[in-house]
Each structure stands twice: as structure tokens, then as C-alpha cells.
Structure 1
Amino acid sequence: MAQAYPVRMSTSLKTQQVVFALDCPDARALADFYARLLGWQIGPASEDWVNVVPPEGTTAGFHIACQQIDDYRAPEWPTGSTPQQAHMDFYVNSIAEAEPLAIASGAIKHTVQPSDDGQFAVFTDPAGHPFCLCEH
């Protein structure tokens, strides 16, 4: 039987980098989208795995990887047979200013916008993954 959470540990992982990997039908195309959206760069790549990394000299603490898989099915958010499972939130100074940039990069504003106070807006990337632009 698996141990129940929370588990108290005396030490923790000492990571050098965190990678958020997204499955998709075309790794290069999705990587290009995130590079445009964030002003990042295409990093090391193979035929089915493309890294999107912050510009040299910045320390974002993580990067995005796009993994091409056969038979990809886009998440159907907020309901549907293919759940979202994960999403990214990008905190910006102004959603109103960031939205046109996201759309020009290839994002689509989702028809469902659950924020009552306008503190976040939901978009999808070209492969259908939801992400949010958020204000503090």
C-alpha cells in the first residue's frame, strides 16, 4: 500500500531546473508559439522534443518543453472526455495589454471565462492547452 500524504522529509530535491512538458501534435510549432508569447528562445531540440528557454542571462527557474506524440487529443476544458490535467498561469502587469500580444502569438481566448473579478483570463495555445493570463 502506498504511503499517505503528506510525507515529512528531512531533505528535499535540489533541482537545477524545472521543466514543464506539454504533449502536442507538432513540437516545433508549439515551441515556436511559446517562444513568441514569452519572448523566449528555442533551445535544444530533437525531432519530437523541443525546449523553450528564457533568454540567456535571465533566471526564470524553469523552461517549457514541447513533446510531439502520436494520436494527440487536445484537452476539452471546462468539460469533456479529455480533461485539462494541468495548465500554466502567466502573471502580467495588465491583462488588457497582454491579451493582444497573446492573440498575435497564436493564442485563442477561450469562450469560458470564469473570473468574476477579471483577475485572470483563460486562453488556449495552438495545441488546445488552456493557460491563463493573471493579474495580482
Structure 2
Amino acid sequence: MAGIAQLSGIALECPDPAALAAFYSAVTGWPIVYAAPDWYSIGPSEDAPLHLSFQLAPGHQPPTWPDPASSMQFHLHLRVDDVEEAERRVVELGATRLAEQPDLANVRVLADPAGHPFCLCPRPTTPETPS
């Protein structure tokens, strides 16, 4: 089925786009492919069909989770080979492990340096529905 549009990127609002781009660049291995004072993007290449971007939002307030009065709106799932090793490495880069861990045996829930929640999920060993 043909769609109406193609997803070209996801943008996270944050108080420091350069710092958050550097964090996710280190986590994903994607280089910074665009840099301006108010907007940074990372991706496999400058002309890749999908980029993860970071937009300046001086009054940014990170979501709280879990919080019945708030929601995290969305979060990223990042597949990794070793969840414990990946958690150690992203914490060294500035991530924070969140107190609530709904599936500690399999997944880690953290917040990036700007407070956006993300999950470290094990890379599947057999084909399955994407996380």
C-alpha cells in the first residue's frame, strides 16, 4: 500500500541541541550531519532518508515517568546486543536510569541528558515484530 508521506525525521526539543546530538551520536554511532545553533541532526549520512534531530527549546521541561498526571508522549527504543553493558555505557555518556523498571530482566528504561525517556531493548535473535 502506498502511503501519503515518508517519515524523514524525529525531532526532540531540548535546552542544548549540540549536547544532545553529541549524546545520541555516541549512543548510535551516527555522525552529526547538520549543525546550527537551534537545530542539530544525526543520521547514517547527510542524505539518509531518516534523521534524529534536536531542536532548541529554552523552556524545555522533561516529561516525568511514570506519572499519572503526565505522560512521556513518546520514547525511543534502541536495540542493543547486551542490555547491561549498553546501560553502563549510556550512563557514562550522561543518561540516567529511571527508578521505575517495568521489565528489568529484559529492558532498561533511562532518560537522556535532557530528560527524554528511552529504552534499551535486546536485539532479537529470531525474526519478530519490531520493538
TM-score with structure 2 setting the length: 0.82
Distance 2:103 2:8 in 1: 28
Q: Please give the per-residue CA displacement for 1:65-85, whole angstroms capped at 9, x wherever unaligned.
A: 000112111111111655210
The answer to whether the 8 Å contact 1:73/1:82 transfers is no
Secondary structure at the counterpart of residue 78 of structure 2: strand
Provide closer, same or farther for how the CA distance between residues 46 and 80 of structure 1 changes in structure 2, counting only shifts above 3 A. farther
2:114 pairs with 127, 130, 134, which one? Answer: 127
**Paired position in structure 1 for 2:4:** 13
Q: Letter of the aligned partner of 2:84 in structure 1? A: A
Whether 1:40 aligns to 2:30 is yes
Distance 1:71 1:18 in 2: 26
Whether 1:85 aligns to 2:73 is yes
The answer to whether the 8 Å contact 2:33/2:45 transfers is no
Q: Letter of the aligned partner of 1:130 in structure 2? A: P
The alpha carbon displacement at 1:52 in A equals: 1.1
Whether 1:102 aligns to 2:93 is no
Secondary structure at the counterpart of residue 51 of structure 1: strand
**Paired position in structure 1 for 2:99:** 111
Identity of aligned residues (%): 36
TM-score with structure 1 setting the length: 0.79
Aligned residues: 123
The alpha carbon displacement at 1:91 in A equals: 1.1
**Paired position in structure 1 for 2:14:** 24
Which consecutive residues of structure 1, in runs of 5 or more, have no partner in the other structure? 1-9
**Paired position in structure 1 for 2:60:** 72
Distance 2:69 2:13 in 1: 17
**Paired position in structure 2 for 1:50:** 40
Q: Letter of the aligned partner of 2:71 in structure 1? A: P
The alpha carbon displacement at 1:113 in A equals: 0.4
Higher alpha-carbon Rg: 1
Cα RMSD (Å) of the superposition?
2.2
